[in-house]
């Protein structure tokens, strides 16, 4: 099969692609966790509409939004499997309801009376209510539908209890429309989706009986390259911002930029490099003119601004540009081919020590088995050994197979001094 004038390689056939896929598998939701998240927010939908609730009879619809809606949720903490699930609660309230009133009504409806199921698990946020479970958080955001606008466009609300009410804001948004736009822009490559799904099933050792998938639900490991790269980029962002103060680049902004640059590569590692280069180019396009990047929801242009709370300052934007430049340099090294111990160091730096170490160990075991069976093209006469230090030594493989490097923007982007 030809793609862009070159023979297309089988999906996940290069060491860099295998390792990146294994990292992605380890940071995303398993089918069991995905099912649990859906059960949690569906239970919340019934709870806030219960008899005696402040919102009894006023709950029109509850549905997934954000990363949950596009299949890009990852572990929200670096050292645990905790993750966040986002959902919208569409309420039958006046579009002119005060922001604090809408948010307080939802909070009070979820929290309930002392001793009730969510009373000690509920936190009021500036735009949602968070319900804390042992292994996840569910953020439920109130929305009032604007029926004269496109499907599911509505008012969201911003109100911090500790601030004066004149700081409150009512926002127009359409998270449902964004999710539909994103999915249309990042369709599945069937061969890649099958290869990734099979690898995910094998590495996770998922037992089908553990969770019953909902009717019509696509298995959570059936993803496009762009979605996998979005998950990797979110994890990379979390690693970079783990010890920093202030806000981090919002996931919806990363998703928008990834979708715009999708479907231009043939492998997972090339997709990561291409997306990093494209994102860097877009940020530089604004930064060189002394402007903050501005990105809109294509399903709600002019009103739903995805950059309304970040970056906020040129300094914050410049810091992220520095991060992107570092990401490009390290990903170029992965794509071009480098020794496996260097690959491990790069993966640990970009995505954290734990998933990198696990991915490398799995690669080592799998490649060793393939070498012994005579099926591997990545080495011969031995197996990769993962010593106690966590670094590779090699008895048969010195480096990954070099892959021609693409520069989709005619060259490398570097900060101009």
Banded pLDDT at 403 (limits 50, 70, 90): very low
In three-state secondary structure terms, 335 is helix
Q: What is the pLDDT of residues 222-237, one digit of tens each?
A: 799 999 999 999 999 9
Catalytic residue selected from 17, 86, 168, 304: 86
DSSP code of 120? T
Mean pLDDT of the chain: 84
Q: Please write the tens of the pLDDT for every residue from 147-163.
A: 999 999 999 999 999 99
pLDDT tens digits, 313-371: 999 999 999 999 999 999 999 999 999 999 999 999 999 999 999 999 988 887 766 55
Topology classification of domain 31-177: Beta Polymerase; domain 2 (3.30.460)
What is the Cα–Cα distance from 233 to 147, expressed in whole angstroms? 35
Mean pLDDT, residues 41-49 taken together? 94
d(CA 36, CA 77): 18
**329, 350, 315: which is closest to 237 by C-alpha?**
350
Q: Tokens for 340?
A: 């496996």
46 is known as an active-site residue: no
Catalytic residue selected from 17, 22, 33, 84: 84
3-state secondary structure of 102: helix
Pairing of strands 136-145, 83-91: parallel
pLDDT of residue 31: 78
Indicate the pLDDT class of residue 386, thresholds 50, 70 and 90: very low
**Greatest Cα pair distance in the chain:** 72
For range 164-184, the mean pLDDT: 97
Span 57-104, pLDDT tens digits: 999 999 999 999 999 999 876 666 678 899 999 999 999 999 999 999
Residue 374 pLDDT > 90:
no
| Options 17, 22, 33, 139, the catalytic residue | 139
Q: Does the active-site annotation cover 86?
A: yes
> Global pTM?
0.85
CA count, 13 A, side-chain hemisphere, 1: 7
Task: Tell me which of 365 and 15 has the higher pLDDT.
Answer: 15
Q: How many helices (H) and strands (E) does the chain have?
A: 12, 11
**Within the chain, which residue ranges are assigned CATH 3.30.460?**
31-177
Is the sign of the CA dihedral 318, 320, 326, 329 positive or negative?
A: negative
User: Is 308 an annotated catalytic residue?
Assistant: no
Percent of the chain whose predicted confidence (pLDDT) is above 70: 80
Q: Where are the beta strands (DSSP E) in 125-189?
A: 129-132, 136-145, 154-158, 169-173
């Amino acid at each position: 099969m030809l793609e862009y004038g070159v023979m297309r390689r089988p999906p996940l056939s290069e060491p860099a692609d295998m390792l990146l896929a294994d990292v992605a598998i380890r940071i995303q939701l398993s089918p069991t966790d995905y099912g649990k998240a859906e059960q949690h927010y569906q239970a919340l939908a019934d709870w806030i509409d219960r008899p005696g609730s402040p919102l009894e009879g006023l709950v029109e619809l509850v549905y997934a939004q954000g990363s949950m809606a596009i299949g890009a949720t990852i572990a929200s903490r670096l050292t645990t499997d905790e993750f966040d699930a986002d959902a919208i609660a569409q309420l039958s309230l006046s579009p002119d309801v005060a922001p604090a009133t809408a948010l307080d009504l939802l909070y009070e409806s979820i929290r309930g009376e002392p001793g009730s199921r969510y009373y000690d698990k509920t936190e009021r946020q500036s735009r949602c209510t968070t319900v804390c479970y042992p292994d996840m958080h569910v953020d439920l955001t109130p929305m009032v539908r604007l029926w004269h606008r496109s499907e599911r466009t509505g008012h969201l609300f911003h109100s911090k209890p500790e601030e004066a009410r004149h700081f409150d804001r009512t926002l127009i948004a359409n998270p449902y429309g964004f999710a539909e736009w994103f999915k249309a822009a990042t369709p599945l490559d069937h061969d890649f989706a099958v290869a990734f799904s099979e690898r995910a099933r094998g590495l996770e050792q998922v037992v089908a009986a553990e969770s019953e998938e909902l009717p019509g639900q696509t298995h959570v490991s059936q993803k496009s390259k762009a979605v996998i790269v979005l998950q990797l980029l979110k994890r990379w962002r979390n690693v970079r911002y783990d010890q920093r103060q202030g806000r981090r680049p919002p996931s919806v902004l990363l998703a928008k930029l990834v979708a715009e640059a999708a479907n231009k590569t043939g492998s997972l590692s090339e997709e990561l490099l291409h997306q990093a280069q494209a994102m860097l180019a877009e940020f530089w396009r604004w930064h060189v003119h002394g402007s903050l990047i501005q990105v809109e929801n294509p399903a709600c242009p002019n009103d739903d601004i995805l950059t309304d709370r970040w970056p906020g300052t040129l300094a914050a934007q410049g810091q992220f540009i520095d991060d992107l430049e570092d990401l490009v340099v390290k990903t170029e090294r992965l794509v071009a081919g480098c020794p496996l111990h260097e690959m491990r160091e790069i993966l640990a730096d970009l995505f954290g020590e734990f998933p990198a170490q696990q991915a490398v160990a799995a690669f080592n075991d799998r490649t060793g088995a393939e070498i012994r069976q005579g099926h591997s093209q990545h080495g011969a006469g031995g197996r990769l050994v993962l010593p106690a230090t966590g670094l590779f030594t090699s008895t048969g493989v010195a480096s990954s197979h070099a892959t021609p490097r693409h520069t989709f923007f005619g060259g490398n982007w570097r900060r101009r001094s």
